[in-house]
Amino acid sequence: MRGADYFIKRVVFAVVTVFVAITINFALFRLAPGSAVANLSRVPHATPETRAALKKEFGLDKSRGEQYVLYLKQLAHGNLGISFANQQPVSSNLRTALKNTIPMVLLGTLFAIIFGTFTGVISAWRRGTATEGMTLGTALTLYAMPTHWLGLMLIIVFAGTLPTGGMSDEFLINPSFTEHMQDLARHIFLPALTLGLVLFGEYTLIVRSAMLETLGEDYILTARAKGLKPWAIMRKHALRNALLPVTTLIALSLGYIVAGAILVETVFSWPGIGRAVYDAVLQRDYPMLQGAFLVLTVSVVFFNLVADLLYFKLDPRITE
């Protein structure tokens, strides 16, 4: 029963979090200096009547309270609204942007998870050796590097070899499936690598730290005393126990995948969700911002919930 209680509590907490976030999202953008009205009403030679008509058309003539109620009603019907900027449904704008973002960010994140965990383990296992110095130095350097700068350097280094930006070569005429896939791979390589390298540093440092903590535990000493092989100690006793903080980090990373990576997307002209949100902020495109942040909130809360539930499974102390 303790397990059911835990599960229900986490789910209720997640739902409340999403609702609070929805409300804050609504208020936050309207508190920022500047308003959507300023942009929308700036039509050349527009008469005051024209501007008033535009405000009415976008529902901006209504009070904040009325706008909020309207927003909640639309949301309850699964309608995220129409973008002020391009007059298209927000859900359609978000779908396009997410479809572009997720493969690139996922690839970069997976790269970081796999290689970061591996180097973190090696770094902790070889503590005090040149290997640790090298892996730690590399991780710190990459972690400290500004993402956009690293991206620009990679563009300059690989200019002429790999594409400088975009998702695919749109000038290719009737490419075969293989050609198309090769083209996509060439385009996704640098942005995913940039993101992956920066996250790699973070993963290495956290895994190393968690591993070092675990390696100092008594049960590791016991395992050594029992004469277990070093790799078995590492895999079965140290790594499994060190994975708890890593699980949180992975869950958070996966949650943020839908947020995209504004800097990487900007440097590589990647038409993803990060850039869409940035443009929406500049244009005070409230429906788009609300929609994007709703998706982000739900995603982060969902993966946190998954992490909580995994903890329940991974860490028996929670049920005690």
Partner 1 sequence: MRKTSAALFLLVTLAAGCGGSSSSSQEGGTFKIGTSSRIDSLNPYVAFNQDAYSTFMYIYPFLVQYDKANQKFAPDFAKSWSSSVDGKTWTFKTLSGAKWSDGQPLTAEDAAWTINTDVKYKDGGAANAAGLIAHIKNAEATDPNTLVVHYEAAVGNVLAQFQQLAILPKHIWTQHLGKSGNGLKTWANPAPVVGSGPFKLTKFKKDEIALFERDPSFYGPKPKADGFGLRMFSNDDALVAALKSHEIDSIEEVPPTAINALQKAGFVISDVPGADQTDFIVNSSPNKKSHPELQNPKVREAFDNAIDRKQIVDVVFLGKAKPAASIIAGSSGDWANPSVQPTAFDIDKANSILDGLGYKKGGDGIRVANGSKMSYEVITPTDLSSANRTFQILQPDFRKIGVQLTQKALDSTAAFDAMTAPNGKYANFDLALWDWVGLIDPDFMLSVVTCAQFEGWNDSGFCDKKYDADYSQQQLTPDQAERRDLVWKMQTYLQQKKPYLWLAVLDHVGATSKNWTGLIDSPQGPFNSLSKLSLTSVHQAG
Rounded to a whole number of angstroms, the minimum distance from the CB of residue 245 to partner 1 is 35
Rounded to a whole number of angstroms, the minimum distance from the CB of residue 90 to partner 1 is 13
Which of 17, 164 has the CB closer to partner 1? 164
CA-CA distance, 290 to 300, in Å (whole number)? Answer: 15
Map residue 129 onto helix, strand or coil: coil
Which of 249, 267 has the CB closer to partner 1? 267
CA-CA distance, 123 to 22, in Å (whole number)? Answer: 42
Q: Which stretch binds partner 1 (CB under 8 A): 82-90, 129-137, 220-228, 288-296?
A: 82-90
Q: Which of 3, 24, 57, 182 binds partner 1 (CB under 8 A)?
A: 57
Please give the structure tokens belonging to residue 19. 């609702």
Q: Which stretch binds partner 1 (CB under 8 A): 102-110, 218-226, 263-271, 290-298?
A: 263-271
Q: Which stretch binds partner 1 (CB under 8 A): 105-113, 120-128, 150-158, 306-314?
A: 150-158
Please give the structure tokens belonging to residue 190. 């640098």
Beta bridge partners of 159: 162
The CA-based dihedral angle spanning residues 111, 199, 92, 25, taken in that order and rounded to the nearest 10 degrees: 150
CA-CA distance, 156 to 137, in Å (whole number)? Answer: 24
- Is 267 a binding residue for partner 1 by CB under 8 A? The answer is yes
Residues whose CB is less than 8 angstroms from the CB of residue 229 and which lie 6 or more positions away in sequence, other chains included: none
- Is 42 a binding residue for partner 1 by CB under 8 A? The answer is yes
- Is 8 a binding residue for partner 1 by CB under 8 A? The answer is no
- Is 111 a binding residue for partner 1 by CB under 8 A? The answer is no
Which of 33, 128 has the CB closer to partner 1? 33
Residues 253, 195: contact at Cβ < 8 Å?
no
Residues 290, 278: contact at Cβ < 8 Å?
no
Residue whose C-alpha is closest to residue 301's, from 6, 10, 7: 10
- Is 288 a binding residue for partner 1 by CB under 8 A? The answer is no
- Is 64 a binding residue for partner 1 by CB under 8 A? The answer is no
Q: Which stretch binds partner 1 (CB under 8 A): 36-44, 116-124, 134-142, 245-253?
A: 36-44
Rounded to a whole number of angstroms, the minimum distance from the CB of residue 74 to partner 1 is 16
Residues 203, 116: contact at Cβ < 8 Å?
yes
Residues 254, 151: contact at Cβ < 8 Å?
no
Please give the structure tokens belonging to residue 304. 């946190």
Rounded to a whole number of angstroms, the minimum distance from the CB of residue 121 to partner 1 is 36
Rounded to a whole number of angstroms, the minimum distance from the CB of residue 278 to partner 1 is 9
Instruction: State which of positions 153-172 bind partner 1 (CB under 8 A).
Output: 155-156, 159-160, 163-167, 170-171
CA-CA distance, 256 to 105, in Å (whole number)? Answer: 9
Where along the sequence are the contacts to partner 1 (CB under 8 A)?
A: 32-35, 38-39, 41-51, 53-54, 57, 82, 85-88, 96, 152, 155-156, 159-160, 163-167, 170-171, 265-269, 271, 275, 281-284
